[in-house]
Amino acid sequence: VMQRALFSRSTLLAQQAAAAIDSPLAARSAPLLQRLDRTMSSVTIPPPACILRPLEAPLRYLFGPGPSNVPPRILAAGGRPIIGHLHPEMYEIMNDIKKGIQYAFQTENNMTISMSGSGHAAMECAVFNTVEPGESVLVAINGIWGERVAEIAERMGANVHKMVKTPGGYFTNKEIEQAIEKHKPVLFFLTHGESSAGLCHPVDGIGDICRKHNCLFLVDTVASLGAAPIFMDKQNIDILYTGSQKALNAPPGTAPISFNDRACHKMFNRKTKPVSYLFDMTHLSNYWGCDGKPARLYHHTGPVSGFFALRESLAILAEKGLEESWKKHKEVAAYLYRGLEDLGLKLFIPERDLRLPSVTTIAIPDGYNWRELLAYIMKHHQMEMTGGLGPSIGMVMRIGLMGYNCEKTNADMALHALADALKNCKKSKA
Ligand code: PMP
């Protein structure tokens, strides 16, 4: 005990000294001394010096594939005083969010909610609820997101079939129909905005094919919602999800998702319970007031601040209008393409119409080390751009100009930073 106490005391004194040197706020050392007694009596793990220092989060230009910068209005909404997750005002806010998502997705689906979690939570929710172990699932893989969904479906015991193309590749409706005929899946997954490759996949006609073969059509719009047109109802998409931190410009941590009647029929008539309690739509639909029952019961404590921020981001999209938002992303992307080509860079997706307007992929310029270029841009311009992800690593560099960040002035800044990096980073093999 003595040894522990001595350890605690000397450690604390060292921390106190360190805190006095490191922290600009000398006042921090006083509470530390007060805590000494407590630590000596029962606490063997001392408070870490790092946590006693003030929080530091630098201001950065988030011009990568997400998260994107959050505008002050959304930050302020997230900073409002907390209310209870089951208060009537919170239910109102959740009802507003539901309406906002219905607009953003262009759907009248009643079963429209936000996950308490990032885009992955929506991916897992979609698969866990609509697929039972042993059922066949078909996944289109042309970048990392299909790979992820295939793994999620494998983990819950589905019989997973993969259609694979290299990053940037896309699937024709004929290829999709042939694979559906062969594997008879209950669910077909496609990424609309493949952020790892910079591809915006065509969606028209696929929903009809799925319907014809009694298969649900699941589409990921995490990176494309608000940036490229998607019409959930008109395009016969059965399950659609997105994330909060891309063109919606809310902080990461919430993820809108919607299920149509076909999807609801499948997920509410299953023989087994979904593997996840947290993501079970039987409970979530009640929590979000979608199940027609008079009482909304406690299931989990939703991220209250995250929902405030999400509501504000959906309000901004509704004020601006979807069509205006799509147009802006297209215009700024076209401006960026011109600037990149003027710098002698090559766009990774050759077909202009297939490029994702929110995330632009550049082929790594010959001879350069892409890690060096990106590190230079971060160091000298406080600007995030990223390399590839999953199968596109080493193939691309990515620039994201999404929502609030989607301005020609920001494209100019990104181009200036790139030009500077190309000039100053020695050509060396990656
Ligand atoms: N799908 C796509 C297309 C994405 O771009 C991302 C995030 N980069 C995700 C899914 C996963 O979202 P999250 O990181 O919020 O879990």
> Relative to the CA of 145, which ligand 1 atom is closest?
1
Burial-class residue 238 by CB neighbours within 10 Å (0-12, 13-18, 19+). buried
* CA pair distance 299, 288, nearest whole angstrom: 10
Q: Which residues line ligand 1 (CB under 6 A)?
A: 65-66, 118-120, 145, 191, 193, 195, 220, 222-223, 243, 252
Give distance in angstroms: CA of 222 to centre of ligand 1. Answer: 6
- Give the β-pairing of 396-400 and 136-141: unpaired
Residue of the CA atom closest to atom 13 of ligand 1: 119
The whole-model pTM stands at: 0.90
- Two structure tokens written together for 270: 């299953």
Strand arrangement of the beta sheet that strand 396-400 belongs to: 359-363, 396-400, 386-387
Which of 120, 144, 248 for mutating ligand 1's site (highest number of atoms within 8 Å of CB)? 120
pLDDT along the chain (430 residues), means of 10: 39 44 48 58 92 96 98 98 97 98 98 98 98 98 97 98 97 98 98 98 98 98 98 98 98 98 98 98 98 95 98 98 98 98 98 97 95 98 97 96 98 98 80
Query: CATH homologous superfamily of domain 322-424?
Result: Aspartate Aminotransferase, domain 1 (3.90.1150.10)
Residue of the CA atom closest to atom 11 of ligand 1: 119
H/E element, 304: helix 304-320
Give distance in angstroms: CA of 346 to centre of ligand 1. Answer: 25
Residues 6+ apart with CB under 8 A from 239: 126, 130, 216, 217, 218, 219, 257, 258, 259, 260, 263
Backbone angles phi, psi at 317, to 5 degrees: -65, -40
Give distance in angstroms: CA of 121 to centre of ligand 1. Answer: 10
- Tell which residue, 87, 29, 27, 63, has the closest CA to residue 417: 63
Which of 141, 195, 361 for mutating ligand 1's site (highest number of atoms within 8 Å of CB)? 195
Burial-class residue 181 by CB neighbours within 10 Å (0-12, 13-18, 19+). exposed
Which of 127, 139, 144, 145 for mutating ligand 1's site (highest number of atoms within 8 Å of CB)? 145
* The CATH fold of domain 72-319: Aspartate Aminotransferase; domain 2 (3.40.640)
Q: Do the domains at 72-319 and 322-424 have one common CATH topology?
A: no
- Tell which residue, 219, 244, 223, 243, has the closest CA to residue 231: 219
CA dihedral of 369, 370, 372, 377, whole degrees rounded to 10: 150
Residue of the CA atom closest to atom 1 of ligand 1: 222
| Predicted pLDDT of residue 161 | 98
Give the three-class secondary structure for 293.
coil
142 and 167 in contact (C-beta within 8 Å)? yes
* CA pair distance 327, 330, nearest whole angstrom: 5
> Relative to the CA of 118, which ligand 1 atom is closest?
15
| Predicted pLDDT of residue 128 | 98
H/E element, 162: strand 159-164
Give distance in angstroms: CA of 220 to centre of ligand 1. Answer: 9
* CA pair distance 115, 7, nearest whole angstrom: 45
H/E element, 264: helix 261-267
* CA pair distance 32, 34, nearest whole angstrom: 5
Which of 199, 222, 248, 389 for mutating ligand 1's site (highest number of atoms within 8 Å of CB)? 222
* CA pair distance 43, 45, nearest whole angstrom: 6
* CA pair distance 330, 226, nearest whole angstrom: 11
The answer on whether 398 is annotated among ligand-binding residues is yes
Give distance in angstroms: CA of 186 to centre of ligand 1. Answer: 23
Backbone angles phi, psi at 145, to 5 degrees: -70, -35
What is the tens place of the pLDDT at every residue in 249-306?
A: 999 999 999 999 999 999 999 999 999 999 999 999 999 999 999 999 999 999 999 9
* CA pair distance 277, 157, nearest whole angstrom: 16
